[in-house]
Structure 1
Amino acid sequence: MTMTRFRSLLIDKAGVRMPGLHVMRFALHRHMPEHASVELHKHAWSQVLFYMDGRGVQMLRNAEARIEPGSLVVLPPGAPHAFRREKARAPLCLMIDFQMKGARAHRADVCGLGRSELAEVQRHLAHLLRLYDGAGKAFRWECVPVMLQLLVMFLRAAGWIARLRPAQADELGSGAAVRQLLAKMDKNAALAQVVKQSGYQRDYLNRLVKRETGLTLGRYRAQQRLARAKELLAQGVRVSEVAAETGLPDQSYFARWFKKQTGRMPSAWARRKE
């Protein structure tokens, strides 16, 4: 993950308030270069620490966790924590200080984000920096939704906020979009091409497809191909034609693939007794 292009950003008194939530501070910066570590301390508020580059060790009371690019630390009020970096380069860290109703019921957590979530963080931060350019010390209201989207994403990753249920995802349009994609998927196209045409990151698309079908994109297409192959073989269609029709035109490869799925060669499966 390359995020070194992002420069420092500080919204020291964000003052974003809504029922149950107050975002106090939003800062993107490097640890002070003269300090190799941040000593054990705690806050009266909650805090998100998202490490965008750099490596080290995050200490949480008596526990330690490895920190690398993409590591996320979410701390409830009063949670003792410290950080020790491992290399000369100070890590680039996104920090959000906030107060949230019920935060004390949660535990401090260290986790990592998936590739699609990391890409989403980059997009949000790039957008936020564009909005903030030229604002000087003035706070731009357009920044608020972006900061809240990032905070919600981090809290979901740490389990502080429940992830969307499939029905909720449908309301946002992703469910319908995935069903349309699957219905129109070219059986001969490489999976990389299908992913590119979808406009989603691959691992995120896999999660959406699994939410709809219970299978990853690759397994879903394999299941569809197998069902079509069985249907054609049952009709007496030649194996070479079945291979071409299911998007696996190499007959030998198709035969090996079919046997791996069913335990039988295509010709043997076609001759089976019902």
Structure 2
Amino acid sequence: MSALPPDASLSSAPAFGLIIVGDEILSGKRADKHLPKVVELLQARGLALSWSLLVGDDPRRITAALRDAFASADVVFSCGGIGATPDDHTRQCAAAALGQPLVLHPEARALIEQRMRETAAEKGEVFDAERPDNVHRYNMGVFPAQARIVANPYNRIPGFSCDGPGGGTVHFVPGFPVMAWPMIENLLDTDYRHLHRQGSWQERSVVVFGAMEAALTPLMEAIEQAHAVKVFSLPSVDHPQFGRHIELGVKGEPEAVTPAFAQLLAGLRGFGADLGPEMVQN
């Protein structure tokens, strides 16, 4: 099981969200890989993903999703749709959601031109900035007016970040994992390094056999009221090792988890619950 740190209600950290854009995922042509990777990147830093949204290449829906993200106080990573082909709408939707014009970002223009010059040199060609396909490539640097650059170590073609009126920040990266994941990781290790929580949270759980979640709910509620932890319940009907069971646990700061988990075990034993293995994740 993957462990998660306390949710945003238990800490001062902002919530993290993920928007994945692309018809190819909704149609089944490609399987999404961003969600598990972003969860992994956050967990490695003691952070958690609070929500994720998958939306197709529909400008109306993309704009609505981004408007909500900008209106929140969340940190959101948006993957996909920032290219310059007709089915790429994310840049335009970000501008619409913010009410800002689209402009060619000067730093993005320089990075795109640098990449085009390097590509021409690799092919033994003379770079021609006026060639129609090169002129079109500059569109990949057309962002909302107040956007900031997100560096792309793979091929220099940048992503961008924008702040919304509600305090939400959205970081836009390409849909290609080879580009998106290093870009997100770099953002986490620079802009959000101060939020890293390695070693400051813990998850403890126990396998419970033959119990119903409804019967355990009062105990879970009592523990959350008494301790600064998050209680979780993960039922399973066909686990390969434990069969039908509930994994019941608490997560939070270690000093809060210890007494909370002790109360959980005492309460379960008071119910006469059949308990299996205990698990700890730091």
TM-score between both structures, scaled by the size of structure 2:
0.24
Structure number with greater CO (CA < 8 Å, separation at least 6) is 2
